[in-house]
Amino acid sequence: MGHVKTSISIVVPLYNEEAVIERFTSKLIAVLSAVDCRYEIIFVNDGSTDATLEQVRRLCCDHSTIKLLSLSRNFGHQSALLAGLRYARGDCAITLDGDLQHPPELIPSLIAHWKQGAKVVATRRLDAVSSPLAKRLSSQWFYRLFRLVSGMSLEPGMADFRLLDRAVLDTLQDVNERALFLRGMLQWVGFRRAVVEYRAADRAAGVSKFTPRKMLALALDGITAFSVTPLRIATVLGFVFSLLSFVYLAYALFIHLFTEHAVEGWTSVIGSVLFLGGVQLICLGIIGEYIGKIFQEVKQRPHFVVEETIGFGDESLSATGAGDHAVRRRATAD
Ligand code: UDP
Ligand code: MG
């Protein structure tokens, strides 16, 4: 039979996941070997400080389908994902977390939707029982705020567990924004979409690498990368309050000119000074946020620095393939 099997790249960012990597890999391989496709597994080591790197190196020796992309330090989840996607050579790529919270069992149905023509197959997490209430609430509010401010609706519960067609992967080669927010980016590029739902599992082992600080940074990046509305809010606030202060001035003048007791407004003076000072600071902060963004963008630094790779040679995508598959070769990213 002359037909060439489709090839799939699996991209997994890893940051200090020594406790789960082994279990994750065997589960992933079990799922993949039941799929009639050639595949490569790209583990992106995002500057782990534990034994993750050694473990992946070992896995690379045991399985020819496993490849390692090791970044020179911790660049963050989004950059690690982008790095893996840039190195992916499959006809499509699937990204998922290495802590088994994104069930590998879902992969066949992602592929099925892709074969039916979807270029982006996203997943929607149905209420994660295990995640703390604060995390669920904050993510809910983030999505609401994002829609309000950017006019683009991101569906809540959509994490970075998805399938991307080669056409979409190629557009990502050109993404050079510093404030990387893949979720928004992928909404922005368009293409036909499909959604698969799943129930999130508990983290198999290890701890979440997302501190509240990292989440806040991601949320701020996400919003300011896709909208200038916050800037406009600053302008509107500025106008409203200057208007109000004119009204107040008129009132003060009236008191001064037509009544006896002019000097009594210490409290109101200090109050309005403080209030306006606060508003100005908010506006400056918002403007600063964007200037910072411009500063980051103009430097055009690459998103990640690769320190070590294993398995990205000339060999075919997977041992099962006949080897006649035309593989797209990509030189180093950026
Ligand atoms: N991760 C990463 N770099 C980071 C933080 C996280 O590569 O700086 C990886 C991590 O190893 C995991 C995935 O991103 O595979 C999701 O992280 P985590 O499970 O800690 O996030 P949560 O599920 O708690 O949102
Ligand atoms: Mg997780």
Dihedral pair phi/psi, residue 41, rounded to 5°: -110, 120
Whether 43 has a pLDDT exceeding 90, the answer reads: yes
Whether 125 has a pLDDT exceeding 50, the answer reads: yes
**Could you give the CA distance from residue 141 to residue 136 in angstroms, rounded to a whole number?**
9
Pocket test for ligand 1, best of 41, 42, 99 (most atoms within 8 A of CB): 99
Give the position, in ligand 1's atom list, of the atom nearest the Cα of 16: 11
Give the position, in ligand 1's atom list, of the atom nearest the Cα of 44: 7
Give the position, in ligand 1's atom list, of the atom nearest the Cα of 74: 8
Q: Please indicate whether residue 125, judged by its CB atom, sits closer than 6 Å to ligand 1.
A: no
Positive/negative CA dihedral, 86, 25, 66, 29: negative
- Ligand at shortest distance from the CA of 12: 1
Whether 56 has a pLDDT exceeding 90, the answer reads: yes
C-alpha 132 – ligand 2 centre gap (Å): 12
Provide the percentage of residues in the chain whose pLDDT is more than 70.
81
* pLDDT tens digits for range 153-171: 666 666 788 999 998 888 8
C-alpha 300 – ligand 2 centre gap (Å): 30
What's this model's pTM, rounded to 2 decimal places? 0.67
- Judged on CB neighbours under 10 Å (0-12, 13-18, 19+), 12 is buried
Q: Please indicate whether residue 182, judged by its CB atom, sits closer than 6 Å to ligand 1.
A: no
| Beta bridge mates, 41 | 10, 66
Q: Please indicate whether residue 99, judged by its CB atom, sits closer than 6 Å to ligand 1.
A: yes
**Could you give the CA distance from residue 310 to residue 40 in angstroms, rounded to a whole number?**
12
